[in-house]
């Protein structure tokens, strides 16, 4: 389907939706107007963030706890071993605050991922799906003027900076994201006896993750050898690693609570994005109606968030995203394919990483046949 047809479909669907739900959302609400009129979320995070919440680094409160943890310096990052995972040093104290004080709303959705496994795409797809009837004029959709990372707050940085008050400014339902494994999420989110909230996880072939991570890190460390990073990944001592324990934590949670945790794979999204957008919409409590299906709303979301579309947007070609290690926005859109590892690894390296991961996944349905 061509882009123009898809965008028209999105427009038609938006009109259908706005009639059906009798919403009074303006085409392009300003943040203040949105708050004042109690417009429901999600709204772009940067639009709501008026810069009035001061930084109060969580390390000021939990610096002693962080200093006592085992540490390693890998690939330009200071890492600390916290509850079985190598977290970037500057995230640990924030994680403690997140675990102890985060108060989820029942309709929150947390998007979770290991870095470089599809975070940006999942953020775009979830945001576009949840806001599909708020912008009847598709040309005004926030994803055309904002990077997905600017639309959805990154909890790990927000809590590290002690700026969690920013989250309270977001109208419900809120979309947020984290790189933390499921076992490190707050009890208030995952506990069996609490209302909690929903979590969507995306995973990816670890071989493609390493390649993507290497290209990403090289934007800051041009000399970083691929073989060095590969070794760290195989050892599990890389940011938020080991990746196998990260994936397993969400896999197990998705089996135990399929109503609360949705487990997605980057490669499956590439194969049939529409099918997974429907799944995502249903899981988040916003299934596509027959009228929307007929009007091509799913295709509209898929096209808006497609790699080609996002990579081509001016907003994603310039500037930077991310508070801590602000990275150029274009570094989040490289190739967007599966299997690029063949261009970077020897067959021996690929077999080695596959075997490490297969061994860790043994006994679960994640183990390759």
The footprint of ligand PAP (CB under 6 A) covers 113, 115-121, 124, 208, 212, 215, 305-307, 310, 332-336, 340
Least distance from ligand PAP to the Cβ atom of residue 316, Å: 9
Alpha-carbon torsion 24, 281, 112, 210, what sign?
negative
Least distance from ligand PAP to the Cβ atom of residue 111, Å: 10
Q: Give the catalytic positions in this structure.
A: 179
**Is the CB of residue 266 less than 8 Å from the CB of residue 248?**
no
Which bin fits 40, alpha (ψ -120 to 50), beta or left (φ > 0)? beta
Q: Order of strands, edge to edge, in the sheet holding 71-74? A: 71-74, 77-82, 85-88
Which residues, including other chains, have CB under 8 Å from residue 243's CB and lie 6 or more apart? 114, 206, 209, 233, 236, 357
Least distance from ligand PAP to the Cβ atom of residue 290, Å: 27
Pick the closer one to ligand PAP by CB: 12 or 232: 232
**Is the CB of residue 113 less than 8 Å from the CB of residue 179?**
yes
Least distance from ligand PAP to the Cβ atom of residue 25, Å: 25
Pick the closer one to ligand PAP by CB: 127 or 332: 332
Pick the closer one to ligand PAP by CB: 91 or 121: 121
Alpha-carbon torsion 242, 247, 253, 259, what sign?
positive
Least distance from ligand PAP to the Cβ atom of residue 42, Å: 18
**Is the CB of residue 14 less than 8 Å from the CB of residue 136?**
yes
Least distance from ligand PAP to the Cβ atom of residue 203, Å: 10
Pick the closer one to ligand PAP by CB: 135 or 333: 333
Task: Identify the three-state secondary structure at position 209.
Answer: helix
DSSP secondary structure letters along 297-362: HHHHHHHHT-HHHHHHSGGGTSSEE-SSS-EEGGGG-S---S-GGGGTS-HHHHHHHHHHHHHHHT
Pick the closer one to ligand PAP by CB: 46 or 120: 120
- Between CA 310 and CA 147 the distance in angstroms is 8
Q: Order of strands, edge to edge, in the sheet holding 109-113? A: 175-178, 109-113, 198-203, 261-265
Least distance from ligand PAP to the Cβ atom of residue 317, Å: 13
Direct distance between the N- and C-terminal alpha carbons of the chain, in angstroms, rounded to an integer: 35
- Do the strands 109-113 and 175-178 form a parallel or antiparallel pair, or are they unpaired? parallel
**Is the CB of residue 76 less than 8 Å from the CB of residue 67?**
no
Pick the closer one to ligand PAP by CB: 74 or 120: 120
Pick the closer one to ligand PAP by CB: 102 or 127: 127
């Amino acid at each position: 389907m061509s882009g123009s047809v898809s965008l028209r479909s999105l427009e038609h669907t938006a009109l259908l939706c706005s009639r059906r739900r009798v919403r009074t959302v303006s085409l392009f609400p300003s943040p203040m107007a949105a708050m004042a009129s109690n417009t429901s979320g999600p709204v772009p995070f940067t639009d709501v963030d008026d810069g009035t919440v001061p930084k109060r680094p969580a390390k000021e409160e939990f610096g002693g706890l962080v200093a006592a943890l085992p540490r390693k310096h890998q690939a330009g990052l200071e890492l600390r071993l916290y509850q079985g995972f190598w977290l970037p040093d500057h995230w640990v104290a924030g994680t403690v605050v997140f675990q102890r004080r985060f108060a989820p709303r029942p309709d929150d959705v947390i998007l979770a991922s290991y870095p470089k496994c599809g975070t940006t795409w999942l953020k775009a797809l979830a945001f576009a799906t949840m806001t599909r009837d708020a912008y009847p004029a598709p040309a005004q959709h926030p994803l055309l003027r904002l990077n997905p990372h600017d639309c959805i707050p990154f909890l790990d940085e927000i809590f590290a900076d002690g700026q969690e008050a920013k989250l309270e400014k977001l109208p419900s339902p809120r979309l947020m994201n984290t790189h933390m494994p499921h076992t490190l999420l707050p009890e208030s989110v995952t506990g069996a006896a609490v209302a909690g909230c929903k979590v969507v996880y995306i995973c990816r072939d670890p071989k493609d993750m390493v390649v993507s991570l290497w290209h990403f890190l090289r934007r800051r460390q041009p000399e970083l050898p691929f073989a060095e990073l590969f070794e760290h990944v195989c050892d599990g001592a890389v940011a938020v690693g080991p990746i196998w324990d990260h994936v397993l934590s969400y896999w197990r949670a998705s089996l135990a609570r399929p109503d609360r945790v949705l487990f997605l794979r980057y490669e499956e999204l590439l194969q049939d994005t529409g099918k997974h957008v429907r799944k995502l919409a249903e899981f988040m409590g916003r299934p596509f109606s027959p009228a929307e299906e007929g009007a091509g709303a799913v295709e509209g979301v898929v096209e808006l968030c497609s790699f080609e579309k996002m990579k081509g947007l001016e907003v994603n070609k310039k500037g930077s995203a991310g508070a801590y290690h602000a990275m150029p926005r274009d570094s989040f859109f490289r190739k967007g394919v599966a299997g690029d590892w063949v261009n970077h690894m020897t067959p021996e390296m690929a077999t080695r990483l596959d075997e490490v991961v297969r061994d860790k996944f043994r006994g679960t349905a994640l183990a390759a046949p």
